[in-house]
Amino acid sequence: MRKKAFPGAIIPCVGSSLSAYKTHHCGFQAGREDPYLRLGSVNVFVRDQDRSLRFYVEKLGFELAFDYRFPSGDRWLTVAPPDGTANLALIAPKPGSEEYKLIGRPTEVIFITEDLFAKFNEWRSRGVRFHHSPQVQRWDAPSSSFEDIDGNSFTLLSYEGLNRELEEQRRAHTERLEAERHRIEELETAREVQARLFPRTQPYFTGLKYSGVCIQARQVGGDYYDFLDLGRERLGLVIGDISGKGTAAALLMANLQAHLHNQCAMYWRRPFTPFALEQPQRFLTAVNRLFGENTTESRYATLFFAEYDDRTRGLRYANCGHPPGMLLRRDNKLERLDSTSTVLGLFKDWDCGVGECNLYPGDTLALYTDGLTEACNAEGEEFGEERVVEALERGRDLPSEALLGSLVDDVRQFSPSEQHDDITLVIARCMGD
């Protein structure tokens, strides 16, 4: 018995059953409820830790796993073979101690490899001393034994069951890599397709300059903005946010965009029918119905739709459960364009109110999704509406595109870590004297 306990001391007991020698699987299993447990390290007593470290790294191809010096001066040094999680703790006991007498003894530590003869030849060519050439045991498993630089002996073993398991794992790993490659390719294709759903051209209006951007947290997302040419010198400013994230949200975002475009096109091609956008309630009621038919009960979209008339500079808007639009007047007075109805897609009996206002030269309209105001810094503080207003005030003399870029930069500087939600922003500036 050892009288002194070292950190992680383990004395392995080797039986005749080969079922114990299986290649190591990932120790974490999501379905397990009992506490995590695995083998940590096995003590090997050596005379000089640095000399032994060089042997295990240079001769055997092991890796340095841990190197820590305690305040007492003792050093905790462990190495690990390339595969697996168990480590060898290289411990240098004091001369004359009971542990010092264990240096150069059999360790009962067994290493397993898929090709014993290849590993035998490799290590022997590097100067590792083997006790004998590989021998086939009674269970048809070839083995050999070798020594480290201090004479501690180990067993090197191979068996067919290990090779079969390794082959299965390699095949499964290849399949996972291939599936991941396909997933990445599909996401990239989806990203390219979704990028085409955002406006690539902007209708020209003399009285309004406007810009938009969507910065997605993932390859695809559920945020949406659009600029719709409604005819008769009118522009539709649209911004929306689908509940949820990822591919499912992106599909619904495309669905919502299609309904908006189809409804606009349908009413435009029917000149004898009162143009639906003259009654935004009817237009959005149709969009809500169509969108709801393509969603589950738990999915919905927030939407801000504004109709701008370049002849009168009038703005009519419907805010369907979306963050309020920010209308910064030229005299720095702020008007919030709050909700006029609930979200799209949840309710069949749905009604939509409409707000109205006029724009004047120098006024700035900002529409955004909650990913902008809810971006957090390292302390967990949100960017918030107040900082949005401050940014609009600072950039009131900038062109719309420059102001949009400045506000995005402010958010990124405030929250430089990983982005957790899509950030979408539309800036419109009323022009004129």
Residue 418 has pLDDT above 70, yes or no: yes
Angstrom CA distances, 58 to 53, 68, 103, stand at 8, 20, 21
Q: How many CB atoms lie within 10 A of CB 314?
A: 14
| pLDDT, average across residues 359-363 | 93
Rounded mean pLDDT, 41-52: 95
> What are phi and psi for residue 214, nearest 5 degrees?
-130, 120
Whether the Cβ atoms of residue 162 and residue 119 lie closer than 8 Å to each other:
no
SS3 187: helix
Task: Provide the pLDDT confidence category of residue 28 given band limits of 50, 70 and 90.
Answer: low
How far is residue 421's CA from residue 243's CA, in Å, rounded to a whole number? 11
Is the pLDDT score of 1 beyond 50? no
Neighbours of 343 (CB within 10 A): 20
Position 358 scores a pLDDT of 93
Q: Given the structure tokens 């490799």, which residue do they identify?
A: 122
CA distances from 234 to 68, 204, 206, 229, 311 (A): 71, 10, 11, 7, 8
**Strand ranges in 197-330 using DSSP code E only, listed in sequence order:** 208-215, 223-231, 234-242, 301-309, 314-320, 325-328
What's the pLDDT band for 271 if we cut at 50, 70, 90? low
Which phi and psi (to 5°) does residue 242 adopt?
Answer: -85, 140
Q: What is the DSSP letter of 100?
A: G
Containing 256, the helix (H) or strand (E) segment is helix 246-268
Task: Please check whether residue 340 is in contact with residue 391, taking contact to mean a CB–CB distance below 8 angstroms.
Answer: no
Residue 432 · residue 208 · CB < 8 Å:
no
Residue 276: pLDDT over 70: no
Widest CA span of the chain, in angstroms? Answer: 106
Q: State the pLDDT at residue 306.
A: 92
The lowest-confidence range among 24-28, 99-103, 262-266, 329-333 is 24-28
pLDDT at 417: 85
Most confidently modeled range among 6-15, 180-189, 235-244, 255-264: 235-244
CA torsion, points 23, 28, 33, 36, in degrees to nearest 10? 80
Residue 289 near residue 348 (C-beta atoms within 8 A): yes
Quick one: pLDDT at residue 199?
A: 82
Collapsing DSSP states into helix, strand and coil, what is residue 252? helix
Q: Is 325 exposed, middle or buried (0-12, 13-18, 19+ CB in 10 A)?
A: buried
Place of tokens 């470290």: 53
pLDDT at 102: 93
Q: Interior CA angle at 356 toward 236 and 309, to 5°?
A: 40
Radius of gyration of the chain, Cα coordinates, nearest whole angstrom: 34
Element (H, E) at 66: strand 63-69
Half-sphere exposure (Cβ direction) of 141: Cα atoms closer than 13 Å = 21
At 288, phi and psi to the nearest 5? -60, -45
- Whole-angstrom distance, CA of residue 44 vs CA of residue 81: 14
Residue among 307, 389, 302, 286 at smallest CA distance from 356: 307
- What's the confidence (pLDDT) of residue 29? 65
Position 56 confidence tier, pLDDT thresholds 50, 70, 90: very high
Query: Distance of alpha carbon 197 from its chain centroid, rounded?
Result: 23
User: Which pair of tokens denotes residue 156?
Assistant: 């090197």
Q: Please give the C-alpha separations between residue 193 and each of 152, 199, 233, 263, in angstroms, as whole numbers.
A: 62, 12, 29, 21
Smallest CA-to-CA distance from 360 within 326, 395, 314 is with 314
How confident is the model at residue 52, as a pLDDT?
Answer: 96
Residue with tokens 């409804």: 263
Q: Are 318 and 330 in contact (CB under 8 A)?
A: no
Domains of the chain: 21-158 (3.10.180.10), 202-430 (3.60.40.10)
Q: Say whether pLDDT at 106 is over 80.
A: yes
**DSSP structural state of residue 427:** E
Q: In 10-57, which ranges are E strands?
A: 41-45
